[in-house]
Amino acid sequence: MRNLVDRPVPFRNSRLKMAKILVVDDEPIIAMTMADWLSDLGHEVVGPASDLAEALPLCDGPFDAAVLDVSLGSRTTEEIAARLTERDVPFAVASGHDAGSLHPSFARGLPLPKPFGFEMFRLTVEKLLRRLA
């Protein structure tokens, strides 16, 4: 299993369209790693945003899917998850918390349990993109 800092081999799945994906995470190494992985998979990265002040304006822009860290310091991404749900934008919820303990605004998000490696991340992105089809 790859750990978070391993570089993946580029992967292309011709059955799934390449997408613009919003990344929201306050941990720089995780945000940069996800952005690199998305680029390696052929997707365009929106962000990454590390706090609500950066993320809220981006969440109203044009993108196909999102990956959200639940916690941004002392704040959460509940408002972003609610906006994405209203817009019917698929999203993944990156968290080390038990899914049952999360705010209901995260209910429509796909779980991406932390810590995660490249393969789990890639599979989650594929599932997000299938929701677009």
pLDDT digits (tens, 9 = 90+) for 77-118: 999 999 999 999 999 999 876 666 676 788 899 999 999 999
Residue 10 lies in a domain: no
| Residue 7 forms part of a structural domain | no
Coil, helix or strand at residue 26: coil
Q: What is the mean pLDDT of residues 9-14?
A: 41
- CATH of residue 40's domain is 3.40.50.2300
Q: Does residue 61 lie in a domain region?
A: yes
Structure confidence at residue 100 (pLDDT):
66
Q: Are 79 and 95 in contact (CB under 8 A)?
A: no
Q: Is residue 9 part of a domain?
A: no
Predicted local confidence at residue 98, as pLDDT: 67
Rounded Cα–Cα distance for residues 54 and 130 (Å): 27
Tell me the residue range of the domain where 82 lies: 20-130
Mean pLDDT of the chain, nearest integer: 86
> For the whole model, what pTM was predicted?
0.85
- Cβ burial of 48 (10 Å; 0-12, 13-18, 19+) is buried
Q: Please state the length of the chain.
A: 133
Q: How many folded domains does the chain comprise?
A: 1
Q: Is residue 4 part of a domain?
A: no
> Looking at the domain assignment, is residue 58 inside a domain?
yes
